[in-house]
Amino acid sequence: MARIAFAWELGGELGHAMACATLARALESRGHESAFAFRELHQLGALALERRAVYQAPLSPREGQGVGVPVAWSDLMLGCGYADAEDLAGLVAGWIQLLRACRADLVVADYAPTALLAARILGLPRVDYSNGFAIPPRLAPMPPFRPDLRIDPAALAEREARVLANVNAVLGRHGAAPLGALHEQLEVDASFLCTFPELDHYGQRPRTEYWGPRYSIEAGEDVPWPYGEGPRVLVYLRGSDPRIEVVIEALVARRCRVAAYLPGLDEARRARLQGAQRRVSARPLRLAPLLDGCDLFVNHGGNVAGAALMHGVPQLVLPAQFEQLVTAARIEQARAGVSVARIDAPREVARGFERALRERAALRRGADAFRKRYAAFSPAEQERRIVARIEQVLAQDART
Amino acid sequence: MARFLVAWEFGEDLGHLRRVLPLGRALRERGHEVAFAFRDATRLDAAARDGFAAWAAPVLRRPPAFDPAPVNAADVLLNLGFRDIASLRGVQRAWDTLIDSARPDAVVADYAPNAMLAAARRSLRRATVGSGFALAPMSDPLPAIRPGGADEAALRRADEELRRSLAQVEGCDGIPLGALFRAEVNLLMTYPELDPLGPRPGDYLGPLACSREGLEVQWDGSRSPRVLAYLKLRDPRFRAVLAALQGATAQSIVAAPGMPDDTARECSTGGVRVYGRALRLAPLLEDVDACVGHGGPGFAADALRAGAPLLLLPMHLEQELVARRLVECGVAVMHLGDASTVGAALAAMLADEPLRERARRFARELGARPGSDAAREAAARLEALAR
């Protein structure tokens, strides 16, 4: 029996917390104990984590201030407290505090680079468990993730050197050996890169094990498809997304049958969307049965997009942040969906919706091709192997 | 020996840190164990380095809309995220975990209503410390806090909405609103003249001593008047204040924490030196003629003790209330307008000899008050609570 701390530090949306909770339950069924440190706490109600320790992950209240458009890992770190060694020392201190308090034997980091630093300082075994964006390739210098932008390599190298210097200053305070290169920050005992090469934010990487996408489609509220004629559209968007207005209009105008989960949607919009043919759930939906009969899945390009691909479902992807933008582009490249990146262009969203519906047969072929390529992939098997590997890491640690 | 959890949940500036750290040290000197929970986790090392347990305080989700004119303390909390039931529930869960881990005998809240709520649910002993803004006077409905007041219906609406929020969080239904703001012991770590909701009957222990930390800089040898400014980069008037200081016949030292060093160097022209970090204020205050700030109670107290008149440019309600109090006392000038009139306000303040004389007199009066070490005094009161 081991105590396992799940750390989610960066990145938004429900996907991280959901994936951590699912893996934790699998580990718990093997007799392990889990504790959580989450970036966002408002989703706890949807996760059924009663009776477990749930901590606030230490965060900088000034995230994203004073930094330009991020193009590489070091930029992400600069925007999250790594621009100042004093700030970073504070965040590391917070992680050390909570890892000690929950007496963690192992840390599972889901986009939690500072938790990894704290685990390194404490000499704890650690694994990472996330998608391609949160687990960048271990290269020096670290590669940019924006091939669409002109990047000044010298300036980027300077920023990476700055982050590395601050990381090493903090490691030094704790008597830990300095890193030779920034990517060593991400050194782990096992890396669960949960994506496929086609969806990898950094493009295909050599000599890397892909564990397949992670998604949880079996938990949630059971909502059957409404009876009727119109196309069946599954909608998973943040209720506060500015594009929601156009989506609602299109769904109503095209007489779609709708199953939707739109957390944070205001009452007026909910009332407009809700109808005999259109079900709006207050809780996350059990996606597995819905994906089977779905004509179009409208989502932001988070973990659920992977689930849609694996079920051969056409998508309209409306990315809300850069990480999702790349996923959206990859889904377009696979000819499995339509992506509308701009959040301020309602007409483009309407046109994208129309195009996705019109071309859904072709998009389904694209998604199907993807699904067939990975026909052997099984989320249950993925989970079993991850659990087994974590137990191996624990056993190795016990021996040393 | 008792265990204290000192929690800071709202307010983003260093004032809270400056208050709670000396308080924690004073408690420890008396043999108690102290854990901290900070809103700003980037400050945790300051506590951890000093040997304290240091936690990130659970934070509410930032609300999508912000009402610029909250009517009372309940409305302020709604503004800070108390409408968001999912977030409130999650944050209460995380305080439970934190309290289970830290196992305090008493919770000391420095603007930490969620910690207050969790402690009330769990029947822990509780105290508040602060500069007064978080310590809402008790009445039904909670009183108006804006200059000019508010109609009673609006006050009742805000209270009622906050009550509805609490009623939806497990274990919080029926906890009176007052429990979010007041505890068994409420210590006002400020002067009555600086209390944004005062003066009132209460335990004014005085502000904490000037911070010993920060970059050490000195006035140059010239005889021109010395102006010390503590400014926030995010204030839209920042550049105008800088320009006004550069145009004044004075030597100015400006602390603008967060400004990159090279930008600070570029801004250092004329008689102005700008530093992008916290400064060690005590040596500068010994020989200062005037101060410019936003109305944060910490820096304002430093200036008052030094006998320096203040030009205050409030950025939010608490600072505005502090500024109004000091204007009433005749020791400060408040500037609420936009950037275009900052220069004139600064020039008027520097030329106002009666203002300066009143500031000096006020400092002498403060010096004559029976003084004690505020942190130690607070620690003694808190010890009595935990006994």
| pLDDT tens digits along B243-297 | 999 998 899 999 998 898 899 999 999 899 999 988 999 999 999 999 999 999 9
Query: How confident is the model at residue A283, as a pLDDT?
Result: 85
Same domain, A259 and A383: no
Q: Which chain A positions have a beta carbon within 8 Å of B101's beta carbon?
A: 53, 55, 98, 101-102
Q: Can you list the domains of chain B with their CATH numbers?
A: 3-205+372-386 (3.40.50.2000), 226-368 (3.40.50.2000)
Distance CA A375, CA A377 (A): 6
Query: How confident is the model at residue B215, as a pLDDT?
Result: 92
**Confidence check: pLDDT of A207 > 80:** no
Number of alpha carbons in the 13 Å side-chain half-sphere of residue B247: 12
Backbone phi, then psi, for B36, in 5-degree steps? -115, 150
Query: Lowest-confidence range among A9-18, A24-33, A177-186, A291-300?
Result: A9-18
* Mean pLDDT across A267-281: 91
Same domain, A131 and A191: yes
Query: Lowest-confidence range among A356-370, B22-36, B195-209?
Result: B195-209
**Confidence check: pLDDT of B355 > 80:** yes
Query: How confident is the model at residue A284, as a pLDDT?
Result: 87
* Mean pLDDT across B216-235: 92
Backbone phi, then psi, for A34, in 5-degree steps? -130, 150
Q: Which chain B positions have a beta carbon within 8 Å of A59's beta carbon?
A: 41, 56, 59
Q: Which of B10, B16, B42, B80 to mutate to test the interface with A (most CBs of A within 10 A)?
A: B42
- A125-158 pLDDT, tens digit each: 999 999 999 999 999 999 998 878 899 999 999 9
CA of A239: which chain B residue's CA is closest?
B64
CA of B11: which chain A residue's CA is closest?
A61
Q: Give the torsion sign (CA, B255, B258, B261, B262).
A: negative
Distance CA A297, CA B295 (A): 52
Query: How confident is the model at residue A282, as a pLDDT?
Result: 85
* Mean pLDDT across A107-124: 98
Residue B82 or B198, more confident: B82
**Confidence check: pLDDT of B211 > 80:** no
Same domain, A270 and A355: yes
| Yes or no, beta carbons of A91 and B44 under 8 Å apart | yes
User: Contact at 8 Å (CB) between B231 and B293?
Assistant: yes
Distance CA A53, CA A5 (A): 9
Answer whether residue A227 is part of any domain: no
Q: B115 at the A interface (CB within 8 A)?
A: no
pTM of the prediction? Answer: 0.93
Number of domains in chain A: 2
Query: How confident is the model at residue B260, as a pLDDT?
Result: 87
Same domain, A160 and A182: yes
Same domain, A277 and A366: yes
pLDDT band at B149; cut points 50, 70, 90: confident
Query: How confident is the model at residue B371, as a pLDDT?
Result: 66
| Yes or no, beta carbons of B56 and A94 under 8 Å apart | yes
Same domain, A350 and A389: no
- Kindly report the CATH number assigned to the domain that includes residue A367: 3.40.50.2000
pLDDT band at B57; cut points 50, 70, 90: very high
**Confidence check: pLDDT of B186 > 70:** yes
Answer whether residue A223 is part of any domain: no
Query: How confident is the model at residue A354, as a pLDDT?
Result: 96
Query: How confident is the model at residue B55, as a pLDDT?
Result: 98
CA of B13: which chain A residue's CA is closest?
A61
Whether the bond between B199 and the residue before it is cis, its omega within 30 degrees of 0, is yes
Same domain, A265 and A390: no
Query: How confident is the model at residue B14, as a pLDDT?
Result: 79
- Residue A50: give the domain boundaries: 3-212+378-399
Mean pLDDT of all residues belonging to chain A: 93
- A38-70 pLDDT, tens digit each: 999 998 988 888 899 999 999 999 998 878 889
Query: How confident is the model at residue B339, as a pLDDT?
Result: 84
- Provide the edge-to-edge strand list for the sheet that holds B290-293: B272-275, B251-255, B226-230, B290-293, B310-312, B332-334
* Mean pLDDT across A337-366: 93
Query: How confident is the model at residue A219, as a pLDDT?
Result: 83
Answer whether residue A60 is part of any domain: yes
Answer whether residue A222 is part of any domain: no
* Mean pLDDT across B12-20: 85
**Confidence check: pLDDT of A215 > 90:** no
Same domain, A59 and A164: yes
Distance CA B15, CA B203 (A): 19
CA distances from B213 to A58, A209, B35 (A): 24, 49, 21
Q: B210 at the A interface (CB within 8 A)?
A: no
| Yes or no, beta carbons of A101 and B101 under 8 Å apart | yes
Same domain, A63 and A136: yes
Same domain, A81 and A205: yes
Q: B258 at the A interface (CB within 8 A)?
A: yes
Distance from CA of B101 to the nearest CA of A (A): 6
Mean pLDDT of all residues belonging to chain B: 93
Answer whether residue A219 is part of any domain: no
For B143: left if phi > 0, alpha if psi spans -120 to 50, otherwise beta; the answer is: beta
Same domain, A137 and A253: no
